[in-house]
Copies of this chain bind each other. A is one copy, B any other.
Amino acid sequence: MSPAHQREPHTHDDTAAKEAAILERLRADGGRVTTGRRAIVRALLTGPDHHVTADDVARVVQAEHPDVHLSTIYRTLDALEHLGVVDRVNLGPGGAIYHLTDHAHHHLVCESCGTVIEVRDELFTDLARRLDEQHGFAMPARHLAIVGRCKTCRDEASSRD
């Protein structure tokens, strides 16, 4: 899981390669590559958090390209979602989060502090099988979000709840 290397998890070359690959997919789909789209893709790849809202992306992008409009962010994220490059996870009121699909997992969202915990999807395979068997229901393989309460907020709550 964690090699002995003391280097950053991703080198710049790594990020640049992924960026190029994604832009290539946009082109392959008949789309165009613009300054705005390049910045949005870069924001998705280099952001500190792997789970970002449209607004998060906008802030990062607009820091360098103030003229990239929020609607462009939404349209581009939508295009990337259709290409299968990003997943959109709806979190009810308060907005959705986006993340790259190369990062397959489910999400535990704390209703109290908003923290997103990633969970390996193997934890859900039993459940998925049973939902299929008993209800014929196909659980999404990715981008499932369960809203509950994280450890920290539970501990805080137990002192006063």
Q: How distant is A2 from chain B, measured CB to nearest CB, in Å?
A: 16
Whether A135 and B117, one on each chain, are in contact in the complex, defined by CB atoms closer than 8 angstroms, is yes
Interface string of A111-146 (1 = CB under 8 A from B): 000000101000110110011001111111000101
Whether B137 and A131, one on each chain, are in contact in the complex, defined by CB atoms closer than 8 angstroms, is no
Whether B131 and A108, one on each chain, are in contact in the complex, defined by CB atoms closer than 8 angstroms, is yes
Residues of chain B lying within 8 A (CB to CB) of residue A123: 127, 130-131, 134
Write the chain B residue with the least CB distance to A147: B140
Binds B, one of A22-30, A36-44, A76-84, A86-94: A86-94
Asked if A154 lies at the interface with its beta carbon under 8 angstroms from chain B, I say: yes
Residues of chain B lying within 8 A (CB to CB) of residue A59: none
A91 to B91, CA, bound (A): 8
Chain A residues within 8 Å of B, Cβ to Cβ: 90-93, 96, 108, 110, 117, 119, 123-124, 126-127, 130-131, 134-140, 144, 146-151, 154
